[in-house]
Amino acid sequence: MRYFNTAGPCVPTRHYMVPAQERLPRARGYIEQGQYFVVHAPRQTGKTTVLAAMARELTASGRYAALHFSCESAEVAGEDYGQAELLVLEAIRRSAESAGLPDELAPPPPGPTRCPGPGSRGG
């Protein structure tokens, strides 16, 4: 039986929730135009839930390979930008795997550094 969740991301099969399209009605238009948007709201208001749902819906449409991931895992790298970059790339790969993206749509493994210095990884 579904219930109202107030602690963390919602799962549509377990929790009552407003569909993502209704929460961010203009977002799909921005995406169609190749633009970006920012979601800014207080804690526990559904930002993560709605963005994860939107990524699933976009991928299911067949027009996009959308992923929802967090860059928070890179925080442990501190000022080591090369390590932070690897951690973010790993988060993207994990998201692609859990989303079940086919190999041709999944991000490639990190390639060698093409230029010296952090933040210059090629793929």
Cβ-defined contacts of 20-24 (< 8 Å, 24+) = 20/50, 20/51, 20/53, 20/54, 20/57, 21/54, 21/57, 23/50, 24/50, 24/54
> According to the model, what pLDDT value does residue 123 have?
46
85/113 Cα distance (integer angstroms): 11
Instruction: Give the torsion sign (CA, 55, 52, 95, 123).
Output: positive
Residues of the chain with pLDDT under 70: 20, 110-123
> According to the model, what pLDDT value does residue 110 have?
67
> According to the model, what pLDDT value does residue 50 have?
87
> According to the model, what pLDDT value does residue 88 have?
92
- Residue given tokens 């490639």 in the structure block: 108
Cβ-contact 4, 11 below 8 angstroms: no
Cβ-contact 2, 15 below 8 angstroms: yes
